[in-house]
Amino acid sequence: MKTYGLIGKKIGYSFSRNYFNNKFKNENRLNSQYINFDIDNLSELNNIFNINNYGFNVTIPYKETIIPYLDSLDFHAEKIGAVNTIQIKKGKKIGFNTDWIGFKKSLEPLLKPHHKKALILGTGGASKAVIYALKQLQIQTLIVSRNGETTYEDLSEEIIQNNTIIINCTPVGTFPNTDSAPEIPYQFITKNHLVYDLIYNPAETLFLKKSKENGAVTKNGLEMLEIQAEESWKIWNSSY
């Protein structure tokens, strides 16, 4: 049995397991399975890597901390500093990042000429991939975090209106905590804004709902996930 899987913590909700197992079923790959490796810490990795495995995805909270456990990184993962895909090749564990591709391809069709600057909410591995993708699109970024140079308390009308793309890279608002949202001044969001939430469950987070009420174009992270999953599949089945 060829085993693929997702490495993360508290990942029972995960999109990936159903996505790939349905893919295997539809493609009649009866010798393949995709399972969740829900671990409390990375000391459990050795047991996982000893399984007859062919590839992994990596999610919160290990996209950055897993890097020292790998043998090498591809160009993009090294630049980003985060990994969401691992290829097993001749016993070597190679880290890739397909999040940035998924984000870039899902965002690009929505961009208008006035979308020049973006607010990034959060500083984790996902936000690093988003920033990398925006750099490819020549969009300036301003990172917002609780303790960074720019905090949520700093967000003024001027900052919100100057940054017409706002992207939530935090887990705030994820099921089952659907009554929460990043604490930003939503009243300053307008129809000129493009508001993107990497969360896909629920399909419309409170963050997106409040932004849409002020006229913003909104999008959740489902298409990004689907694209990055297909890019992962290409990597596992390639001779990178």
Catalytic sites, residue numbers: 63
Tokens 């899987």 found at: 5
Four-residue CA torsion sign, 63, 67, 72, 74 = positive
Helices (H) and strands (E) in the chain, counts: 8, 11
Q: Contact, 121 vs 144, CB < 8 A?
A: yes
Nearest alpha carbon to residue 228 among 64, 53, 82, 52: 82
Identify whether the C-beta of residue 84 lies closer than 8 Å to the C-beta of residue 59.
yes
Secondary structure (DSSP) of 50-86: TSSEEEEEE-TT-TTTTGGGSSEE-HHHHHHT--SEE
| Measured distance CA(177)–CA(170) in Å, rounded | 13
User: From the CA atom positions of the chain, what is the Rg in Å?
Assistant: 18
Looking up tokens 């960074």, which residue turns up? Answer: 148
Q: Kindly write down the DSSP assignment for every residue of 91-145, as one continuous string.
A: TEEEEE--HHHHHHHHHGGG--TT--EEEEE--SHHHHHHHHHHHHTT-EEEEE-
Phi, psi of 88 (to 5 degrees): -100, 115
